[in-house]
């Protein structure tokens, strides 16, 4: 019987402690509001991404690793910028290259032998 009363008193104490913890200490919150864990210094929107931006980038950690949406956004942005740069490089390379292979090696150059027509030197 004493054990029953002891358990009842312990139960009342635990319920009271939990109730006080939930209600809090008056008008002041027990814990301050937590700000969502987001990328603080993301990739710049007004200019192309440079190596220093990638080095400075820190992705937020979630309970089971990284936030997939945040990582997907960063990877999508990087992929788009790399594709844009690759297209620009290809465009500049094509503009710099000769118009056709015939322009690159003129047929009447000295010492040129056209083996497709059976020519000799």
112 CB neighbour count, 10 Å cutoff: 11
59 burial (CB, 10 Å; 0-12 / 13-18 / 19+) is middle
> Which has more pLDDT, 48 or 9?
9
Write out the two tokens for 46: 């007004």
Please choose, from the candidates 68, 51, 48, the residue with its C-alpha nearest in 3D space to the C-alpha of residue 60.
Answer: 68
pLDDT tens, 42-90? 778 888 888 888 877 777 777 777 778 888 888 888 888 888 899 999 9
Position 121 scores a pLDDT of 45
Position 14 scores a pLDDT of 95
Q: What pTM, to 2 d.p., does this model score? A: 0.42
């Amino acid at each position: 019987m004493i054990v029953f009363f002891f358990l009842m008193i312990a139960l009342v104490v635990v319920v009271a402690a939990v109730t006080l913890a939930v209600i809090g200490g008056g008008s002041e919150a027990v814990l301050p509001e937590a700000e969502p864990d987001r990328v603080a210094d993301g990739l710049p929107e007004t200019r192309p991404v440079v190596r220093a931006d990638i080095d400075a980038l820190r992705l937020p950690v979630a309970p089971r690793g990284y936030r997939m949406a945040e990582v997907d956004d960063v990877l999508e942005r990087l992929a788009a910028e790399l594709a844009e740069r690759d297209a620009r490089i290809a465009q500049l390379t094509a503009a710099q290259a000769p118009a056709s292979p015939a322009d690159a090696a003129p047929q009447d150059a000295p010492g040129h032998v056209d083996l497709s027509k059976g020519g000799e030197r």
